[in-house]
Every structure is written in C-alpha cells, then in structure tokens.
Structure 1
Amino acid sequence: MSDLFLLSEAQMRRIEPYFPFSHGIARVNDRLIVSGIIYVIRNGLRWRDAPRTYGPHKTIYNRFVRWSALGVFNRIFSALAGAAGEPDRLMIDATHLKAHRTAASLLKKGLFPRRIGRTKGGLNSKLHAVCDGDGRPVIMLLSEGQMSDYHGAALMLDDFPPASELLADKGYDADWFREALEQRGIKPCIPPKANRKIQIPYDKAVYKCRHKIENMFGKLKDWRRIHTRYDRCAHTFFSAIAIAATVIFWL
C-alpha cells in the first residue's frame, strides 16, 4: 500500500474512541475501511473505484453512509478540534462549493434539507467556518449557497470559543455582529463597508493574517469530493468535509 493512503496506528488510537461499538459479527478492519473512505474523498473517486486493498467497495460506502447518519465523523472533528484548547485569535469566512448534477438534479425528498441553493454561479452549497489563529477550523456549518455570510455567523455565534479578537472581511461588517462579539469579550477586526457614514478603525497589520483561513479553504478544496459536491444528502457531504478537516489539520 506504498502508493495508497493508510492511517497510522497513532492516528487510529486518537479516533477509535469515537467509533460505534460493534454488535454481533465483528466489523471489517476499521483501519483499512476508514483509510479507504479518506482515499475516495480525497481523490474524488466513485465508491466502486476504491482500490481493492481497502476491502469491498460496498463495505466502504455503507460504512461511510451509516457512520455519517450517526454523526461519527462530526464528533471526531469536534473532539479533536476542541482538545487543542482555547485559541487566542479567531477568523471567520465562507466559501462556495459547487454541486454536481448528481447531487443537485433530483427533487428534494425526505425530512432533512439538502443545503443546496441557487446563486449566480449556479447550484451550490456554502461552507461557513471559524478558524483559530493558525488557520485550523474549529467550527463549520453547511448552508444553501445563497445564505449571506453574517447569517451563517449568527448560526455559529453561540459556539464561538473564548478568544481575544476575531478577523473577518467586510461581509461581516454588521453592528449587531460587532456588538455580539464585544459582549463575549472578543475584539472585532473587521474592515468597514464603504457605505458606512462613520468609518470604523481596525488593525490593518493584524488583518493581514486573515489569509490563513483562505489557505484553509484551499486545502479543503484540494480534496476533490469537497471541491465538487457529489453527495445528495447534506449530512454525508458534511461528513466528508469533517473527515478532510480532521485529516489535514487535527491528525
């Protein structure tokens, strides 16, 4: 497997506590199956094209879908990100993820929303993220593509960890958002919009560090099933994002 991805034993020890218990028949090798899931998501393959070294492709796919429904991958991301401690600085931004026709062509069915919307760029989803000072994601949210940046921030606000300051672009320049941050003891470093009657000063030197969250989105989009959404269900697509963020930044 020299040319394939394989989680190390140390990495497995960190994520195994969050796996569901096996009932009855023992599961197929967790290390191979989870490594196969990562390989497929990173390279943008169809599940049937997963290398046989990882095991049956139906087992890989079924494990991904079943554990996604249980929220296993989301819990792994949240636990590892939370274990890093409280960050001194936060950064927030959002990016669009194009929805492939296999994800966007069918009518919505079922109880849960698909989180696919229509913008000038077509059908897409939007990933909102809060990062620490090193550009590592600590909070993520998937929404329809047309949702504004500050509406996404409002949905994540209650989960913000304590920090001294937050960096954001002009899309987050709203009085209510600034006030909400200050109530939490977080100093906003946000450039004011041009139409403000009174321009609000901000630290331009500190603001230059905001490129780290842009770099984070770029690293996530290097994984082909993240850059283009093939999954119809929002929870499976978000699980793929959580897997990518965990492997890239927290393992």
Structure 2
Amino acid sequence: MPLNSRKNHFPHPHGKPRVDDVRVISGIIHVLKRGLQWRDAPQEYGPHKTLYNRFMRWSRKGIFNKIFMALAGERGDPDRLMIDATYLKAHRTAASLLKKGMFPRAIGRTKGGINSKLHAVCDENGAPLILYLSEGQMSDYKGARHILGALPKANALLADRGYDADWFRDGLRDRGIEPCIPPKKNRKSPRPYDKTLYRQRHKVENMFAKLKDWRRIATRYDRCAHTFFSSICIAATVIFYLNQ
C-alpha cells in the first residue's frame, strides 16, 4: 500500500509502538482472500488476535472504505459508467445476529435464501468507483437511488433493464449522463439505446467475478455490515488499484 495512503488514513500510534502495519495488513488480506478463520492465519503475520483486533477496530472507523474511495477518486472522470448488483450469500453465522443489534446487518431474505446485495458502479475498464451494500431483497433500481447522487461526470451509463425507470433516466440526464439501458418488456413505449455500446456491460459482471474470487466475499461470515463492507473495500483496492 502506498506510503501516503497509510499516512493519510491509518491512525497514528500513541504510546507503545504497534506491530508493523504492513505485516498486519498482509495478514488480513491473506485471511480474507482464502476465507480462513483468524486463528488459522500463518504465524509469519504475527498473532491472529492482533490481525482480528486491528481489522475490527479499523473497520468501525471506516478506514478501509476511505482508502478505497481515495484511490478510486484518483482515476478522474471516466468516459463511461456501468452499474449492476449481485447477491452475496450470508452464512448462518452472519444471519444469527438479532435484528435489533448494535450495528446494522444489511442481510435480507430472498428466493435464493439469506443474502446481502452489493450494488456497484465501475468505469469503462471495469474498476469499481462506487460500492453500496444493502439487504438482499432491495431491487436494483432502489439501490441506484442511493448511488445516483454520488455518480461522477461521464458521457454514458450502461445498465440492464432492471434499471429501466423514468426517474433514473431523468436523473442521469440531469447530471449530463446519457443512459444506455434496454427497456423492460412491459414498456408501452420502448426507449431506444445503443446496442453496440451496451455490449461493453460485461465488464461490470467481470468485476463481480473477480471480487467473488475472494472466499470471504463470495460467502459472508461477518455479522455486522461494516466489517463485511470493509472486506469488500479491501478486495476491490487490492484487485483493481494496487495490482495494476
């Protein structure tokens, strides 16, 4: 991780020097990518309790989210945007927390079982720019309502017919973004769209596939939404911004 990102986002140690941040973060990435229990982390990364405590503490502070947003913001304004959503299966350990718990869960029941749903916007290269975690039963266009105000400037946005809503199309045009969205089958007056440009939408699907290569992302074990979302931000940062 770049030194400037560490200085800007990680908290400064007070009193006794803490264990090396780079070693701890490498251990956290190892655990998340392979879906291990914390106690199964290799000893070369230090005590597993240190990895767990550091991950939980920094997740509550939103540090990993801020690092992802900072790196994504350095890309500048993209030419095209792509939006989509995917289901993330919640393990029974994640679904066991009471709904009135201290932290929100972002877990819901759908026909496929108990899931969370990841809504994402990526650029023309398939790199994620905006991530939003919701309950599994939230529809695509309702998730888009939460994302619309944060969209960067772009010439066009590609989406499947699940996002075919007049308010969403109008909101995009108000921001100077041309929607490239196929109409729903029940539309009485179908809207035209660029079918050649729409073929590029597979890149957002590829992005989800790469994120789900991380075992901890494909299946959610974390009870609290903020810890699971931190795992997603770490995976997105490593895959799309640090390994380029």
Taking structure 2 as the reference length, the TM-score comes to: 0.97
Q: How does 1:171-250 map to 2 (within 5 A)?
A: 171-250=162-241
1:112 aligns with 103
Separation in 2, partners of 1:181, 1:25: 51
Note if contact 2:59-2:226 (Cα within 8 Å) is conserved in structure 1.
yes
Matched AA of 2:188: K
2:6 aligns with 16
Q: How does 1:1-251 map to 2 (within 5 A)?
A: 11-17=1-7, 18-251=9-242
| Other structure's SS at 1:102 match | coil
CA shift, 1:110, in A, is 2.9
Q: CA RMSD in A?
A: 0.9
Matched AA of 1:140: L
Separation in 1, partners of 2:150, 2:199: 25
Separation in 1, partners of 2:26, 2:97: 30
Note if contact 1:149-1:172 (Cα within 8 Å) is conserved in structure 2.
yes
CA shift, 1:107, in A, is 1.8
CA shift, 1:108, in A, is 2.6
Separation in 1, partners of 2:11, 2:156: 37
Separation in 2, partners of 1:86, 1:112: 34
Structure 2: state its 5+ residue gaps. Answer: none
Separation in 1, partners of 2:146, 2:125: 23
CA shift, 1:14, in A, is 4.7
| Other structure's SS at 1:197 match | coil
| Other structure's SS at 2:162 match | helix
CA shift, 1:111, in A, is 3.7
How many residues matched? 241
1:3 aligns with none
Separation in 2, partners of 1:24, 1:110: 33
- Which 4+ stretches in 1 moved above 2 angstroms? 108-112
| Other structure's SS at 1:101 match | coil
Separation in 2, partners of 1:200, 1:142: 29
CA shift, 1:23, in A, is 1.1
Note if contact 1:12-1:31 (Cα within 8 Å) is conserved in structure 2.
no
Note if contact 2:83-2:122 (Cα within 8 Å) is conserved in structure 1.
yes
Matched AA of 1:22: P
Matched AA of 1:40: V
CA shift, 1:24, in A, is 1.1
Q: Percent identity?
A: 69
